[in-house]
Amino acid sequence: MMQTILGANGQIAVELARELNRRYTTDLRLVSRRPRAVNAADGLVAADLLDAEQTKAAVAGSEIVYFTAGLPPKTELWEAQFPTMLRNALDASRSAGAKFAYFDNTYMYPQDDRVQTEDTPFAPVGRKGEVRATMASMVLDEMARGDIDVLIGRAPEFYGPGRTQSFTNTLIIDNIKNGRKPRVPVRDDRLRTLIWTPDASRGLAALGNTPKAYGQTWHLPVDDNRPTYKEFVAMAAETFGRDAGYTVVPRWALSSAGLFSQQVREIKELLPRYAQDSRFDSSKFNAAFPDFTVTTYRTGLGIIRAEAHDERIGQGPRQQ
């Protein structure tokens, strides 16, 4: 049973390819503009998802299609390209009669302290949130149409190994790893829900290979022991054997041009949520997959530390 990953070079896609190969099938097709093999048996297809015909050819013959494509965090690029890429992927999957698993985020959710469930209404703040709301609605429309089996797997902010990109990795983990003082965005006393990137990919693989999961939205599995950033920094500092000191960077400073990278500045519309508790609920997934083991924050940080040690001595990153 061939399974295809669209947008195959990102961290989620790489971990997804590993998990699918480990547990479900070795008949994998990885699709991107410049795909790279993750497993020895992977089939590689170079395709531009903005091109409908290339996307259709890349999906042909697939049983399950996973949409994990990403774009650089530039608003205009998201608006111009993301919906087109998704529309082409949905059309290609319908043409192939393939199941469709959409990897989503929470940008379209309200930026307040409510508990986020699969039924949380969309109330995007900012243009990127609007794009993600539009895309999720496209997938829900396809689900309602019923021509093919469709599901949504949704994740909160990442933290993780490899090339994981998030505020938490960029401002906290990478700084601690490199012996610099971590910077906490906005507040240090609010609860955070972060998802370990390999868990997100493992969860998406489990959903994609569970027929009863289709026709639904799922929150991907997270550690329910939500730390504050103060507690998270303390755990990370202890793990890396570093000083636990940190700086809280106020919202105005994070919004200032030139203070941090373009990538950080481009997601400043998400900053209000760092002033609120983040309570992303994955109890639906936990009930459906009771044997799924979620990675704890301490375990995840330990894996990142081991990976950093391996890289320093020239062994390369470990596979999770």
Residue 267 predicted with pLDDT over 80: no
Choice among 39-48, 51-60, 268-277, 291-300 with the minimum mean pLDDT: 268-277
Q: According to the model, what pLDDT value does residue 165 have?
A: 81
Q: Give how far the C-alpha of residue 30 lies from the chain's centroid of Cα atoms, to the nearest Å.
A: 17
Choice among 14-18, 137-141, 283-287, 314-318 with the minimum mean pLDDT: 314-318
Q: According to the model, what pLDDT value does residue 251 have?
A: 80
Q: According to the model, what pLDDT value does residue 219 have?
A: 98
| Tens digits of residue pLDDT in 157-191 | 999 998 788 889 988 999 998 889 999 989 999 99
User: pLDDT-derived band of residue 1, with 50, 70 and 90 as boundaries?
Assistant: confident
Residue 258 predicted with pLDDT over 70: no
| Tens digits of residue pLDDT in 66-89 | 999 999 888 899 999 999 999 999
| Tens digits of residue pLDDT in 23-43 | 999 999 999 999 999 999 999
Written in H, E and C, the secondary structure of the chain is: CCEEEECCCCHHHHHHHHHHHHHCCCCEEEEECCCCCCCCCCEEEECCCCCHHHHHHHHCCCCEEEECCCCCCCHHHHHHHHHHHHHHHHHHHHHHCCEEEEEECCCCCCCCCCEECCCCCCCCCCHHHHHHHHHHHHHHHHHHHCCCCEEEEECCCEECCCCCCCHHHHHHHHHHHCCCCCEEECCCCCECCCEEHHHHHHHHHHHHCCHHHCCCEEECCCCCCCCEHHHHHHHHHHHHCCCCCCEEECHHHHHCCCCCCHHHHHCHHHHHHHHCCCEECCHHHHHHCCCCCCCCHHHHHHHHHHHHHHHHCCCCCCCC
What's the mean pLDDT in 196-214? 98
User: pLDDT-derived band of residue 316, with 50, 70 and 90 as boundaries?
Assistant: low
| Tens digits of residue pLDDT in 222-256 | 999 999 999 999 999 999 998 889 999 888 877 66
Residue pointed to by tokens 């959903």: 207
Q: According to the model, what pLDDT value does residue 319 have?
A: 52
Tell me the average pLDDT of the chain: 92
Rg (CA), the chain: 19
